[in-house]
Chains A and B, each alone.
Chain A
Amino acid sequence: MIELHRVWKVFSVGPVKVPALSDISFRVAKGECVTLHGASGAGKTTLLRLLYREELPTEGDIEVLGCDVPALRVREVAALRRSIGVVFQDAKLLPGRTVYENVAFVLRVLGTPRREITPRVFDALRRVGLSARAQAYPAQLSQGEAQRAALARAIARKPLLLLADEPTGSLDESMAGEVIDIIKDIWARGTTVLFATHQARLAAALHQRTLHLLSGRLVKDEG
Chain B
Amino acid sequence: MLGFLIGEALRDLHRAGRVAVAAILLTTLSLAALGGFWLVSTNVGQAAEQWRDRVRITVFLKQEPSAAETDELVDRVQAMPGVAAVRYVSKSEALGTLKEVLGKDASVAEQLPTNPLPASLEVMLNEAGATPEGARGLITRLSELPETDEVSGGMDWVDRLARGRRLLDVIGLGIGAVLAVAAILTVTTATTLVLHLRRQELEIMRLVGAPELVVRLPLLLQGMLQGLLGAVMAIWLLIAVYALAGPHLEPLVNQTLGLERLTFLKPHTVVGLMLAGTMLGGFGGWLARGRTAP
Contacts and interface: CB of A to CB of B under 8 A. Distances in A.
Given A105-B204, A108-B4, A74 B212 contact: yes
B1 A111 contact: yes
Interface string B199-210: 011011111111
Contact of A78 (B15, B200, B210): B210
In this complex, the member of A75, A82, A86, A109 whose beta carbon has the largest number of chain B beta carbons within 10 angstroms is A109
Contacts of A83: 209
A92 B203 contact: yes
A96 B206 CA distance: 18
A109 B210 contact: yes
A53 B208 contact: no
Interface in A117-148: none
Contacts, number: 58
A198 interface: no
Nearest to B208: A106
B214 A92 contact: no
Contacts of A77: 209, 293
A219 interface: no
B113 interface: no
Contacts of B215: 109
A82 B209 contact: yes
B261 to A, nearest CB: 52
B204 A157 contact: no
Contacts of A74: 212, 292-293
A81 interface: yes
Contacts of A108: 4
A106 B201 CA distance: 10
B145 to A, nearest CB: 76
B267 interface: no
B294 A56 contact: yes
Interface in A54-90: 54-56, 74-75, 77-84, 86
Nearest to B198: A94
B201 A94 contact: yes
Given A74-B293, A109-B214, A81 B200 contact: no
B211 interface: yes
Contacts of A92: 200, 203-204
A157 B203 contact: no
Interface string B205-242: 11111111011000000000000000000000000000
Given A54-B293, A96-B15, 19 more contacts: A56-B294, A74-B292, A77-B209, A77-B293, A78-B210, A78-B211, A78-B293, A80-B209, A81-B206, A84-B209, A92-B203, A94-B200, A105-B201, A109-B205, A109-B210, A110-B208, A111-B1, A111-B214, A157-B208
6 contacts: A54-B294, A55-B294, A75-B212, A82-B208, A83-B209, A86-B207
